[in-house]
Amino acid sequence: MRPDSRLMVFLSLAGALLVSACATPRGTGDLGIVIERAAGSVQVVETTTRTRLAQVSGLGDLSHASVVYSRDARYAYVFGRDGGLTKVDMQRRRIDKRIVQAGNAVGGAISQDGGLIAVSNYDPGGVKVFTADTLELVADIPAGSGDSARRSKIVGLVDAPDRRFVFSLFDAGEIWIADMRNPHQPRVQKFSDVGKLPYDGTVTPDGRYYIAGLFGEDGLALLDLWQPDKGVRRVLDGYGRGQEPLPVFKMPHMDYWAQSGGLAYVPAVGRHEVLMIDQKNWTESARIAVAGQPVFVIARPDGRQVWVNFAPPHNDTVQVIDTLSLSVVRTLKPGKAVLHMEFTPRGENVWLSVRDENRVDVYDTETLERVTSLLADKPSGIFFTARAQRIGQ
């Protein structure tokens, strides 16, 4: 063999090794993202052996950041506070594309067919819609109050079947449905006077009902997306029974509809209670006293438990509600500032971000004991790729 042909063999062998090292196939179904809100970075984590795979930086101001996934769970779309929309490649673990699309944003949604990304903006108030692959603008829906030019902050933006996005206007007290069947010309159906200051909204897992929580009064606004022409109705009206509400030091959220045994679990506003709604007739079924103002009320995927975290000064506490006995069965004290909770796809673990301890804790949901912890820089939202297959997530 001549020297240069030996070199060629060596080079091609080395090349093959390099390629295989880079391209080891790995699915994304057990991956997730942990937001490091102050650092403007995200961690890519995996939930099978519970480790951190990578840190991706350069995502801007991530206070209140949230994530949706492409339907193949290859890409994460991260919505930042500063109006940044960043598409992160979960396999290559790097930024694929990033734009800054508004001055101040709060969250977003991906369309039923995975082709569109909608972003919910505070400033200027409205919704912008982009192509999911290239993040090119396809539609801009400014949200004025009624026909006035005054813009309203947008909250509770979700996707719904039949290529629709649904969202609420915080300042204007309205719910809008944007029909995106022609993406360049959205058709918007508006519902006014739904209640004062809707603070967030979500859709039931079957995609039928959109529910907005109200901050400015006791109650929730319910819209049947199968029959939108029947309008928005108020449910749990006056649940505070005329009592003066307690101060709320952090807005509650309606991340994903928490349901179990035909009942839905929602945070009360200004009361240290979780409200339970009978989903047959949308009336209050019961209420459970909890440790503080609930922020997230989330159900284990099988509905056996509901986990609750709290606003300051009770944000060091997490409570677990047993959905058979309808009582709090465990009060956990994971540490200072528990900001978010996310179940693994089938619910054997729940991950908690404990901001002021710079930790993400993983709990076993059967023993209610901590399994492990991962280091993270001021972690906030945790989002697993199982969301890719859920309506409204």
Name residues whose C-beta falls within 8 Å of residue 217's C-beta, 6 or more positions apart in sequence.
195, 196, 197
Classified as helix, coil or strand, 334 is: coil
Residue with tokens 């997306």: 225
Query: Shortest Cβ distance from residue 331 to another protein (Å)?
Result: 22
Binding site for another protein (CB under 8 A): 37-38, 61-64, 81-82, 103-104, 106, 122-123, 153, 155, 170, 196-197, 199, 215-218, 240, 244-245, 247-251, 269-270, 312-313, 337, 355-356, 378
Min separation Cβ 270 and another protein, Å: 6
CB of 319 to another protein, least distance (A): 20
What are the structure tokens assigned to 101, written together? 């699309």
Question: What length is written for the chain?
Answer: 393
User: In the bound complex, what is the minimum distance in angstroms from residue 121's beta carbon to another protein?
Assistant: 11
User: 207 or 219: whose CB is closer to another protein?
Assistant: 219
Which amino acid would we find at residue 354? V
CB-CB contact of 385 with 70 (8 Å): no
CA distances from 14 to 3, 24, 26 (A): 16, 16, 22
From CA 116, how far away is CA 184, in angstroms rounded? Answer: 11
C-beta of 64 vs 128, nearer to another protein: 64
* Closest approach of another protein to the CB of residue 106, in Å: 7
The residue among 233 and 250 lying less far from another protein, judged by its C-beta, is 250
* CB of residue 241 to another protein, shortest distance in Å: 12
C-beta closer to another protein: residue 60 or 347: 60
Nearer to another protein, 46 or 171 (CB): 171
- Contact present, 200 and 253 (Cβ < 8 Å): yes
Residue closer to another protein (CB basis): 221 or 225 = 221
Q: How far is the CB of 57 from another protein (least distance, A)?
A: 16
Q: Angle at the Cα of 352 (from 346 to 354), degrees rounded to 5? A: 170
CA distance 295 to 259: 16
Nearest to 87 by CA among 98, 72, 100: 98
- The β-bridge relationship of strands 116-123 and 104-110 is antiparallel
Smallest separation, CB 299 to another protein (Å): 24
CB of 174 to another protein, least distance (A): 16
For 26, the token pair is 């790995």
**Distances in whole angstroms, Cα of residue 287 to Cα of each of 83, 194, 328, 329, 342:** 37, 23, 11, 15, 23
In three-state secondary structure terms, 305 is strand
Residue 75 or 170 having the CB closest to another protein:
170
Q: Measured from the CB atom, is 219 or 228 closer to another protein?
A: 219
As measured in angstroms, the least distance from the Cβ of 316 to another protein is: 13
* HSE of 7, CA atoms in CB hemisphere, 13 A: 3
Coil, helix or strand for 9? helix
Compute the CA torsion angle 184, 189, 194, 199 (nearest 10 deg). -10
User: In the complex with another protein, which residue's Cβ is closer, 51 or 57?
Assistant: 57
Q: What number of helices (H) and strands (E) belong to the chain?
A: 1, 32
Asked if 343 and 325 touch (Cβ cutoff 8 Å), the reply is: no
Which token pair is 20? 């295989």
> Toward another protein, which CB reaches closer, 61 or 133?
61
